[in-house]
Amino acid sequence: MSGMINDDIIEKVNDSSDLVDIVSKYLSLKRTGGNYVGLCPFHNEKTPSFTVSKTKQLFHCFGCGEGGDAISFIMKMENLSFIDAVKFLAREQGIPLEEGSSIDKELISQKEKIYEINREAARFYYYNLINNEKTLKYLKDRNINRKTLNRFGLGYAVDSWNSIYRYLQGKGYSVEDIEKAGLIARRRDGSGYYDKFRNRLMFPIIDTRGRVIGFGGRVLDDSMPKYLNTQDTIVFTKGNNLYGLNLIKDHSNRERIILVEGYMDVIALFGNGIDYGVAGLGTAFTPNQVKLLKRYGKEIYICYDSDTAGIKATMKTLKLIRKEGVEPKIIVLPSGKDPDDFINEYGLKEFQKLLDESLNHIEYEIYIYKKKYDLSDVEDKIKFTKEIAKTLRGLKSPIEKDVYIDKVSMDTGISREAIQKEVLGKKFNSSTTIRRDKYINGKYRDNKNEIKPIKTVLEPAHLTAEKTLVKMMIKNRNYYNIIKEHLTMEDFFNYECRTLVGIICDEYGNNQELVELDSSNLLEDLKGYEMDVNILGQIIDGNTEFLPEDRIKLIDDLVKTIKYYNLKIERERVTKRIQEIESSRDSEEGVVEEFKLLCLKLTELDKKLKSHI
């Protein structure tokens, strides 16, 4: 391509390349959680510090600091130039390269011209801003200092019909190219051109390669539209970019990324030390924008305006992000506030508190429907429960379903059984067959005789959690060590599980060399115990290969489920005792004191239960 490659080809190569597959051809990678690790090929090391992110398609070595994308990896490994590395990957992916194409050359030339025009326009707008006292005061009143102004390259389009038009023509750019950049438009009567951005605060939109690709403009008065953006051009597509992404793109290990609605929201966050905010570009959020979020942030937060339009936009964006396999969190702002308003009024500390208290998608929907329906009204209570049941029906995890069924039951006073029926529909009470276990009265035998399958109903989440944790403790001492840090034998409600945990603790405690336990030894230890053969079989003969790859997170989730259940049981006990005292009307000093302590205990339990939801 005579030293040039079409940007579309570069983008196509990046999108088509699987960095994990590419790197795996050069070194051995091992999956750990959501990433892959191996020995760095760029420096000598004995402990793996080279990490590849499949979701972000980026690599980083914590030892030598090397990092980048697929193209930069090939450049380093094969000692190639940028263009040759792109060609190398294009051939690998079967992407055709039209060598010497005059169309490609012309398109590249046109794009470069638009980038130049946009850069020159940004400089012009910036000059206008720093020499306009009124606009500088506007920014100062919104707590935007000179450092932030410069960091984002803010500008001002003066209240003139031909200011940018005359300036760019004076720089030698043709009217056709200025129009292609989206900065001017032809008059309806065909008599000439006019500036599209007038009397507006200007926000240059910059891509991850540092190029100005378009602009957003915000009015400084009450005129409409409030925001105006560059239309799609040959260098700018709204649905493929995010405002502010250029400032965080170098942080491939960024823990968080916050999605907000407006440019001012991004700037307000940045000015207060939160430098991981991005915004859409005035159109509905797209799958391509979700991919950008996934690439540059491990945890995605949505923080849209708290008005009706903001709530609708949050719900739509939430569904789109979840469809791409990501579970975002939602930062809930007080009514009538946007991030810019909130952080300027209440400060960083209060915003951080909202960030820490952010909701998952179920919690957010419960929050929204609680605002929509009056739970003291019978009809509204029914509507609320039916709405939430639809959401819970889509959950794959039975543990999650069980936890939120309990929460809705507590919120509404409707029995968990009724809510469970609503959530599960026809599936509730339907029978399924399971394999009869090979354990009779604690003894193992070959089950050659035909045993009829037994019927079962949906298993409670806490029992599933207990059985899974016991199974993991048997199979792996490391899991046992982690679990015992959070739970004791008494935390296991099920008799079979509790008994097994006691034996497991003895086995590992008596032999420090053991890395897993032998099922036949466990069965020997269980002789004399009256055990449910089905539960025992599911644990001892169970397979752990089906479990999710992130076992540490799984353990954390299961521990929370068990603790939640135990808190619930304790709450029921305390509530029952309070009711007994109330009905007895006993006014003895000791009983009154017990009643007070129980009420305090109930309040404490409710707080703990809320923290576990």
pLDDT of residue 434: 32
Residue 435 has pLDDT above 60, yes or no: no
First-to-last CA distance in the chain? 58
480-495 burial code (b ≥16 CB/10 A, e <16): bebbeeebeeebbbbe
Quick check: bond before 225 cis, omega within 30?
yes
Decide if pLDDT at 443 tops 50.
no
Q: What is the pLDDT of residues 258-304, one digit of tens each?
A: 999 999 999 999 999 899 999 999 888 988 899 888 877 778 999 99
Q: Which DSSP string do the residues of 518-549 spell out, in sequence order?
A: -HHHHHHHTTT----HHHHHHHHT---TTS-S
Please name the residue that has the structure tokens 């230890």.
525
Express as a percent the part of the chain with pLDDT over 70: 86
424: Cβ–Cβ under 8 A, 6 or more apart, which residues? 393, 458
Token digits of residue 430: 């339907």
Q: Residue 337: how many CB atoms within 10 A of its CB?
A: 16
Residue 132 has pLDDT above 90, yes or no: yes
pLDDT digits (tens, 9 = 90+) for 135-178: 999 999 999 999 999 999 999 999 999 999 999 999 999 999 99
Same fold, 103-236 and 245-359: no
Regarding predicted confidence, which is higher, 578 or 57? 57
Domain locations in the chain as residue ranges: 7-93, 103-236, 245-359, 364-427, 439-547, 558-611
Pairwise pLDDT comparison (586 vs 598), residue with the higher score? 598
Low-confidence winner among 96-105, 337-346, 403-412 (lowest mean pLDDT): 96-105
Query: At 443, is the secondary structure helix, strand, or coil?
Result: strand
Q: Supply 140's token pair.
A: 């100062």
Contact criterion met (CB below 8 Å) for 613 and 561: no
Longest Cα–Cα distance in the chain: 100
Residues 6 or more apart in contact with residue 188 via CB below 8 angstroms:
none
Structure tokens at 350: 């209060």
- Domain 245-359 CATH class label: alpha beta
Is the pLDDT confidence value at 430 over 90? no
By the 10 Å C-beta count (0-12 exposed, 13-18 middle, 19+ buried), 134 is classed as exposed
Q: Which residues contact 122 (CB under 8 A, 6 or more apart)?
A: 153, 155, 202, 204, 212, 215
pLDDT score of 429 more than 50:
no
What value does the mean pLDDT of the chain take? 83
Sorted by sequence, the CB contacts under 8 Å of residue 569 that are 6+ apart come out as 493
Class assignment of domain 103-236? alpha beta
DSSP 437: P
pLDDT at 193 over 90: yes
pTM listed for this prediction: 0.62
Three-state secondary structure of 210-250: CCEEEEEEEECCCCCCCEEECCCCCCCCHHHCCECHHHHCC
Task: Please state, in angstroms and rounded to a whole number, the distance separating the CA atoms of residues 265 and 271.
Answer: 10
Say how many C-beta atoms besides its own lie within 10 A of residue 177's C-beta. 15
Looking at residue 25, what is its pLDDT? Answer: 82
User: pLDDT tens digit string along 33-85?
Assistant: 778 888 888 887 778 889 998 877 889 888 888 888 899 999 888 778 888 88
Q: For residue 420, which of 407, 396, 402 has the smallest C-alpha distance?
A: 402
| pLDDT on residue 92 | 79
Tens digit of each residue's pLDDT (9 = 90 or more) over 75-122: 888 778 888 888 888 887 777 766 544 546 777 788 899 999 999 999
pLDDT for residue 549: 67
For residue 503, give the nearest of 519, 487, 515 by alpha carbon: 519
Nearest Cα to Cα of residue 196 among 171, 226, 160, 148: 160
User: What is the Cα–Cα distance from 289 to 280, expressed in whole angstroms?
Assistant: 8
Task: Tell me how far apart the alpha carbons of residues 118 and 179 are, in angstroms, rounded to a whole number.
Answer: 11
**581/568 Cα distance (integer angstroms):** 20
Higher pLDDT, 65 or 211: 211
Q: Is the pLDDT of residue 512 over 80?
A: yes
Burial string for 367-377 (b: 16+ CB within 10 Å, else e) reads: ebbeeebeeee
Neighbours of 277 (CB within 10 A): 25
Q: Judge whether residue 547 has pLDDT over 90.
A: no
Q: What tokens does 321 get?
A: 């992000």
What is the reported pLDDT for 612?
56
Q: How many CB atoms lie within 10 A of CB 342?
A: 22
- Pick 544 or 255 by higher pLDDT: 255
CATH class, domain 7-93, is: alpha beta
Residue 456 — very low, low, confident or very high, per pLDDT cuts 50/70/90? very low
Question: Is pLDDT at 383 greater than 90 in this prediction?
Answer: yes
Q: Residue 361 — pLDDT band, cuts 50, 70, 90?
A: very high
Q: Does the pLDDT of residue 423 top 70, yes or no?
A: yes
Q: What stretches of 485-525 show up as alpha helix (H) in DSSP?
A: 495-510, 519-525
Taking the C-alpha atoms of residue 97 and residue 9, their distance in angstroms, rounded to an integer, is 8
User: Is residue 394 very low, low, confident or very high in pLDDT (cuts 50, 70, 90)?
Assistant: confident
